[in-house]
Amino acid sequence: MINKDFFVALEDLEKEKKIKKEYFISALESALTSAYKKNFGEAKSASVKLIPEKNTIKVYGYKTVVEEVADPDKEISLEDARKIKKSYEVGDVISEEVTPKEFGRIAAQIARQVVMQKLREAEFQIAMDEISGKQNEIVTTQVKRVENGIVYHEIPGNQMEGDLTKNDQIPGETYCTGDRVKVFVKAIKEGAKTPFIQVNRNSNVFLKKLLELEIPEIKNGDVVIKAIAREPGYRAKVAVMSTNPNLDPIGACIGNKGIRINEIIKELNGEKIDMVEYSDNAFEYIARALSPAKIITIYSLEGQNHARAVVPDDKLSLAIGKNGQNVRLAAKLTNWRIDVKSESEAKQLDGGLMLNSEFDENEFEGLGDDNSIED
């Protein structure tokens, strides 16, 4: 039976779960009204009221005053109504308590079911509201378990799980139960019982958010990230520019003795990062993107956004990179097709002429110096 202990339990839920007791009471009144009608007559006009102040439950029946009764479950004659109260008129609605003695047992069963259901719904909504504020942000999680290559992370604050699938992991990275790991909250969807949270560690946006987290100048807008090219677990190139003429964007990102960028590299399990200063001059930008190789000249080829970079003969392999990685990332970063040739190869191809060059080695002296930061 619903008694004082029941209402005390509702107050405890309100304090512990931050769920108003009125949320449960409203749902209970609706469910108990349906239960009453089901057990004592669907045709009856009735409602169940919970009264916390008196730690009790009451059922009220309602009848409309009419001249001639057609439906005894819902109507009462004017004559009978005036026996209750002389001032009643046709059209008035009379309410009276009709709580059956045996209704307490039914109410107790329904109450337990409704409270548990509403508690789950409320906790789910609270969890959804909390995690929704973290979508598209980085959170620090703890690895809960690893099953079939999927890493389940516990999201802080609400003990919900985030799923890190193989496609969202950094290649070569291993995860152990209890590890604390930063992840990017990629997507949140409603699941059957709890929200389905998909997290990520290998996307460009994850690296961008890490940079914002570790480098105040990026977060406050003094340094702007223009582009990112990344092969997760191996190497990334990040193009940045300063909105403050007195601020060196590369120095701000690297930090004193590399302290800032090294924190990011550590989080990325040793992934190398090349910081590249952005330029509106396409050829200057390409030369910087090809770091650590030193560029002799760059000139355009036929076709949109297609250029050839010429490097000293002994720097060709450095410009191209292992398995073509350096030039491939530079192309992704600049959105140009880049053909890298040694100086001797370029002279043979172009008859000794450097066509359509807009790059002056002396003007941009120092481009191609190694900005690659390693752990």
Residue 351 pLDDT grade (very low, low, confident, very high; cuts 50, 70, 90): low
> Omega into 52 within 30° of 0, i.e. cis?
no
Give me the pLDDT at residue 368, please: 47
Residue 217 pLDDT grade (very low, low, confident, very high; cuts 50, 70, 90): very high
- Distance (Å, rounded) from C-alpha 32 to C-alpha 104? 10
Give me the pLDDT at residue 159, please: 65
Our measurement of the distance from residue 364's CA atom to the centroid of its chain's CA atoms, rounded to an integer in Å, reads 42
Residues 347 and 355: beta-carbon distance below 8 Å: no
What are residue 50's DSSP bridge partners?
A: 57
What are residue 75's DSSP bridge partners?
A: 64
Q: Which of 362, 359, 357 is CA-nearest to residue 281?
A: 359
DSSP state of 294: P
Residues 240 and 208: beta-carbon distance below 8 Å: no
- Distance (Å, rounded) from C-alpha 247 to C-alpha 254? 13
Q: Which residues contact 101 (CB under 8 A, 6 or more apart)?
A: none
> What is the tens place of the pLDDT at every residue in 71-87?
888 899 999 999 999 99
DSSP 184-243: EEEEEEE-SSSEEEEEESSSHHHHHHHHHHH-HHHHTTSEEEEEEEEETTTEEEEEEEES
Helices (H), the chain: 4-17, 21-40, 78-84, 103-132, 204-214, 216-219, 249-254, 259-267, 282-289, 316-320, 325-334, 343-350
> What is the tens place of the pLDDT at every residue in 133-169?
788 899 999 999 999 999 999 887 666 788 999 999 9
Walk me through the domains of the chain, giving residue ranges and CATH numbers: 4-132 (3.30.1480.10), 138-202 (2.40.50.140), 205-373 (3.30.300.20)
Residue 286 one-letter amino acid: I
- Distance (Å, rounded) from C-alpha 205 to C-alpha 203? 5
Q: Which residues contact 111 (CB under 8 A, 6 or more apart)?
A: 2, 6, 28, 32
- Distance (Å, rounded) from C-alpha 298 to C-alpha 313? 15
Q: Give me the percent of the chain exceeding a pLDDT of 70.
A: 90
pTM: 0.69
DSSP state of 281: S
Q: Give me the percent of the chain exceeding a pLDDT of 90.
A: 54
Residue 27 sits at the vertex; the CA angle it makes with 24 and 29, to the nearest 5 degrees, is 105
Mean pLDDT of all residues belonging to the chain: 86
Q: Please determine, for residue 110, whether its predicted confidence score (pLDDT) is greater than 80.
A: yes
Considering Cα of 127, then 132, then 136, then 137, what sign does the dihedral take?
Answer: negative
Min mean pLDDT across 8-17, 192-201, 361-370 is at 361-370
Which pairs from 319-323 meet CB under 8 Å and 24+ separation?
319/290, 319/293, 319/295
